[in-house]
Amino acid sequence: MKLLVTGGAGFIGSAVVRLAVGRGYEVVNVDALTYAGCLENVAVVSDSPLYAFEHVDIRDRTALDAVFGKHEPDAVMHLAAESHVDRSIDGPGDFIETNITGTYNMLEAARSYWVEKGKPETFRFHHISTDEVFGSLGPEGMFTEETPYDPRSPYSASKAASDHLVRAWHETYGLPVVLTNCSNNYGPYHFPEKLIPVVILNALAGQDIPVYGEGLNVRDWLFVEDHADALLLVLAKGAVGRSYNIGGENEARNIDLVKTICAILDRLRPKDGSYADQIIFVQDRAGHDLRYAIDPSRIRDELGWRPSVTLQEGLERTVAWYLDNEDWWRALQARDGVGQRLGVKA
Ligand SMILES: NC(=O)c1ccc[n+]([C@@H]2O[C@H](COP(=O)([O-])OP(=O)(O)OC[C@H]3O[C@@H](n4cnc5c(N)ncnc54)[C@H](O)[C@@H]3O)[C@@H](O)[C@H]2O)c1
């Protein structure tokens, strides 16, 4: 089976590419290599005969048609996106172009290819989205697949728009789609502007560890390799037209998460005093959603999937990976905007 994976040089997409090639799928990785893309993330599979790379921007419909024509995939896994909420606050334009127009281009290129092939029932367009489309929870409750959409940042609004387009292409044109909305991911190859790598790398550099607001925002953390496993399962077994929420069953307040990482570092890379002494509280993100939590009943009951890694285990593995892969993150720290405070303009 041949998969066309968009955004396969990013954090989650590269985990999908590595896992899929490891399981014997042929994979075509379509990525524009923006500031967030890194081919090092897929270096372990890049020599495999099962792997191909296409340096293509999903905003370029003509190039997408050529990729479909050349590789003739059996399924699409669409992950390419602008993904950083803070960047979406400072510059929403790229999010509209890539996440909405880019998804529209992907849908049209896939539809045209699928029609040309005689509309095979086995074809799939798997759209990978976020729980942020559902908005913000109070202290109680969880997001189900029936929760009304209520996006509150330019990032989540652009992802919500793309979800609606994907559903519309199924209802209107019959394109065989599946959708997933997952919670916050973490793990190896996480770009060094996101919370968990920022904590690890600032701690190691002896710098302040910034926590937004009072650190009371709650996220449901999902280990990226568990997410990749769930995505391949939904692709293979998910019902056409259906969406599945994917969560880690690992809720944590930001401040508790940061303290846990500091405690792991205290053990793995001891220094005088604790890394937790470097924690400082900084101005909150504009419109910072208080809490996200996923009710994973559907994917658990219908497809038999559960996360395999607890938050403590996943964080141990993640911290150890960053300690062992300094060359990888040092190179990315030089990229545009990394290490600067973003998302406070509004
Ligand atoms: N990171 C999370 O916690 C999380 C949670 C839920 C859902 N998601 C979704 O999963 C997907 C992947 O997220 P991620 O964290 O791996 O993102 P990422 O920012 O690490 O990677 C995005 C990748 O897409 C590529 N890309 C960006 N614009 C492109 C364009 N116009 N054309 C082609 N390629 C382009 C980048 O080069 C990069 O390789 C996104 O759709 C995101 O919305 C992420």
Q: What is the mean pLDDT of the chain?
A: 95
Which pLDDT score, from 0 to 100, does residue 346 have?
A: 55
99 with 144: CB under 8 angstroms? no
Interacting residues of 118 by C-beta distance below 8 A, sequence separation 6+? none
pLDDT cut 90: percent of the chain above it? 90
Determine the atom of ligand 1 nearest the C-alpha atom of 98.
31
Cβ–ligand 1 contact at 160 (below 6 Å): no
**Could you list the active site residues?**
131-132, 155
Contact 164, 103 (CB under 8 A): no
Ligand 1 atom 44 nearest Cα: 130
Portion of the chain with pLDDT greater than 70, in percent: 99
Residue 185 CB–ligand 1 contact under 6 Å: yes
Encode pLDDT of 151-178 as tens digits: 999 999 999 999 999 999 999 999 999 9
196 C-beta closer than 6 A to ligand 1: no
pLDDT of residue 335: 87
pLDDT tens across 254-263, in order? 999 999 999 9
User: 2-191+222-249+293-308 has which fold?
Assistant: Rossmann fold (3.40.50)
Question: Mind listing the pLDDT tens digit for each residue in 289-346?
Answer: 889 999 999 999 999 999 999 999 999 999 999 999 999 999 999 887 787 767 776 5
